[in-house]
Amino acid sequence: MTGSDAGPARVVIEALRLDRWSRDDVERRADRALALGVGGFILFGGDAERVGRLIERIRDDAARPLWIGADLERGAGQQIRGLIELPPPAALAAHPDPGDAAAAAGRVTAREALSVGINWVIAPVLDLDAEPDNPIIATRSFGADPRRVGELGVRWVDACQSAGAAACAKHFPGHGRTTEDSHIGLPSIDAPAELLEEDLAPFAAAADRVASVMVAHVAYPALGGERAATVEPNIVSGLLRGRLGFEGVVTTDAMIMGGAGPDDASAAVEAVAAGCDLICYPADAGATVAALARAADDALFAARLEEALTRSVRGCPPPARASRPEFEPVAFARNTIVGDVKGLRGWTPRTPTRVVGVSDDPDVGPSAGRAGALGMIVAGELRAAGWRITDDADSGQCIVVLAATPRGWKGRGAPAAEVIEQTRVLIRSARRGLVVLLGHRRWLDALGVPGICAWSTETVMERAAADWLRSAVGAAAGTRPGGTGR
């Protein structure tokens, strides 16, 4: 099928929110989108069995190739319950063998995604962790070094695509230097062009191998535009296509985000004109398709739309299926935990230990695989290992499980001052206290209390942290070998 056979809807990617909408609402939205002729869907939430059935039904009804995508930066379990959760990119970079860890993550993510019919893995993040106050990147990045981010990102991409799924590098030309969240509004990066060369480097490393690239709703005056990169020809067609030579599919970030502006249907037209090939998650797919069709009355836009349609159709990954891999995620994640065994001297499983959850993320939902309150997983794992777990505030040992993660619409990077103070008070209330930080390791310094870094709120990271603690306490007491800490 060529672009001319498809129609403008084929550049639109509709959203299906199994995490928020009722089953009937999801089905109705899918049916409306299929009737429009959309090019695919981006999925959020749901359990593996339901997602698999939904995708199979959608493909059967469509009877045409579809992009079926999901944000899977931390494994397929980030979105789909019952699939494998993985550590975030910052944790992979802390692994003893980060290259192999990145490749394993890409491969496992792809196979897990394909097992339910997802053929487009919207990952990895190639942004630099260049700004401590960035509210949206942090642990989603492989780090601050451009070469290292590029190398690890390429290992992830190659493994993912070798397993059969299309990868998507994001957020071009780099979201790492913002202090605002593009979910909320339009950030502008005022760094000079010479410094932004560092941000471009990881994308340049992946440009000749990654199937798709996502453009950021961020302005880069030094790169030729005051508006979002999404709608800037200098950035999409000039930098990404021209200078970097990228020949794959270019997608927008979600058009419902504040950075896309108040009229996302008009912004979609501008994005296609700038060089984007897919319009991801519009507020109203029908309004967006209508806006694209009206704009196609102009011959120049019609030619650009035809190019986008052709690239969308030709680049669409096949509806392959894969068996789930043999993989032990907790053992894998344990090797990314950062901590010092010496800080656990004096701790014993016999001493009553209180485990308390403290969240800096009160207004955002939990990870897909979480069941129960924050901290319950650590408490349960330690109790199963023979520890005396208690709710008594006067316990001799206290573990605070602190969630402080980058989330859309959260609007800040560092934990709030009151959360930091609450954590300090809890730690100091016991003879021995320790924080298990589910966030970026730099916040351990801000806390100023003993702690270990477990990177993110996925269930697997809490389980891995409990495993690390159990081993480290034994090693600190000299009762078992190993547990050198990292």
Which residue carries 């109705």 as its tokens? 28
Nearest to 167 by CA among 307, 48, 67: 67
Helix (H) or strand (E) holding 84: none
Longest dimension (CA), the chain: 77
DSSP letter for each residue of 420-438: HHHHHHHHHTSSEEEEEEE
Helix (H, G, I), strand (E, B) or coil at 187: coil
Amino acid 162 reads S
Token pair, residue 170, equals 């994001």
Catalytically annotated residues: 183, 253
Among 256, 434, 446, 432, CA closest to 360: 446
Rounded CA separation 93/89 (Å): 6
Angle between helices 48-62 and 23-36 in degrees, nearest 10: 30
Give me Rg for the CA atoms of the chain.
Answer: 23
CA 268 – CA 260 distance, rounded (Å): 9
Contacts of 374 (CB under 8 A, 6+ apart): 357, 358, 359, 366, 401, 403, 457
- Locate all alpha helices (DSSP H) within 79-180, ordered by sequence: 89-94, 98-115, 146-162
d(CA 290, CA 71): 27
Cα(180)–Cα(256) distance, rounded to whole angstroms? 16
**Alpha-carbon span 439 to 421, nearest angstrom:** 16
CB within 8 A of 184, min separation 6: which ones?
258, 259, 409, 411
Q: Are 238 and 194 in contact (CB under 8 A)?
A: no
d(CA 319, CA 321): 7
